[in-house]
């Protein structure tokens, strides 16, 4: 919850709603990041931008969150896809559109992505 408290309220509410479904356990890996943390992730190839939605907005909160099914198995992509469906269902209840790192363009085709970031969710601009 400490990590989730660094996330903007609309996104935080969606993640809490997804938790309340009690369909699957998941962990909040990251909310807000510093620019130095973001630079390190870009240098390691784990992110592609220094203009990340994880960086603090004007209110000092992140507009992105990274979550993972628990227990975490980075090779179990199906579990991340299932979690994405749960989060998107919660988002629809809040009438909020999210962008997921497994389907950046939101076309429901997860095979056309040039960069895959399955734990990542962000508020759409």
Q: Considering the entire predicted model, what is its pTM?
A: 0.96
Strand partners, 62: 7
User: pLDDT digit string (tens) for 45-86?
Assistant: 999 999 999 999 999 999 999 999 999 999 999 999 999 999
User: pLDDT digit string (tens) for 95-104?
Assistant: 999 999 999 9
Set out the domains of the chain in order of their start, with CATH numbers. Answer: 4-123 (3.30.1380)
Confidence of residue 125 (pLDDT cuts 50, 70, 90): confident
| Inter-axis angle of helices 77-93 and 9-20, nearest 10 | 110
The CA angle 48-45-96, to the nearest 5 degrees, is 40
- Asked if 69 and 29 count as a contact pair (C-beta separation under 8 A), the reply is no
User: pLDDT digit string (tens) for 3-56?
Assistant: 999 999 999 999 999 999 999 999 999 999 999 999 999 999 999 999 999 999
pLDDT number for residue 72: 97
User: Count of residues for the chain?
Assistant: 125
């Amino acid at each position: 919850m400490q990590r989730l408290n660094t996330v903007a309220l609309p996104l935080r509410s969606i993640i809490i709603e997804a938790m309340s479904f009690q369909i699957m356990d998941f962990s909040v890996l990251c909310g807000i990041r510093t620019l130095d943390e973001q630079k390190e992730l870009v240098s390691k190839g784990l992110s592609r931008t220094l203009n990340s939605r994880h960086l603090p907005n004007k209110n000092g909160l992140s507009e992105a969150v990274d979550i993972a099914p628990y227990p975490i198995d980075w090779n179990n992509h199906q579990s991340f896809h299932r979690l994405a469906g749960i989060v998107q269902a919660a988002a629809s209840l809040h009438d909020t559109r999210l962008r997921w790192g497994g389907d950046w363009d939101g076309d429901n085709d997860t095979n056309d992505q040039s960069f895959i970031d399955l734990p990542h969710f962000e508020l759409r601009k």
